Amino acid sequence: MTVLSELPQTVQQAVAETRQRVCDLHAELPRNELVVWTAGNVSERVPAHEGAPELFVIKPSGVSYDELSPEVMVVCTLDGEKIDDGTPAHLQPSSDTAAHAYVYRHMAEVGGVVHTHSTYATAWAARGEPIPCVLTMMADEFGGDIPVGPFALIGDDSIGRGIVETLRESRSKAVLMDRHGPFTIGKDAKAAVKAAVMCEEVARTIHFARAYGEPERIEQHLIDSLYERYQNVYGQKGGK
Catalytic positions are 140, 234
Residue 65 identity (one-letter amino acid): Y
β-pairing, 148-149 vs 55-58, is unpaired
Which of 142, 135, 146 is CA-nearest to residue 218? Answer: 135
β-pairing, 174-177 vs 41-46, is unpaired
Integer-rounded Cα radius of gyration of the chain: 18
- Cβ contact 220:134 at 8 Å: no
Distance CA 73, CA 43 (A): 9
Who's near 39: CB < 8 A, 6+ residues apart?
116, 117
Q: What sections of the chain are H helices per DSSP?
A: 9-26, 28-31, 97-106, 119-127, 136-142, 158-167, 189-209, 220-232
Cα 226 to the center of its chain, rounded Å: 23
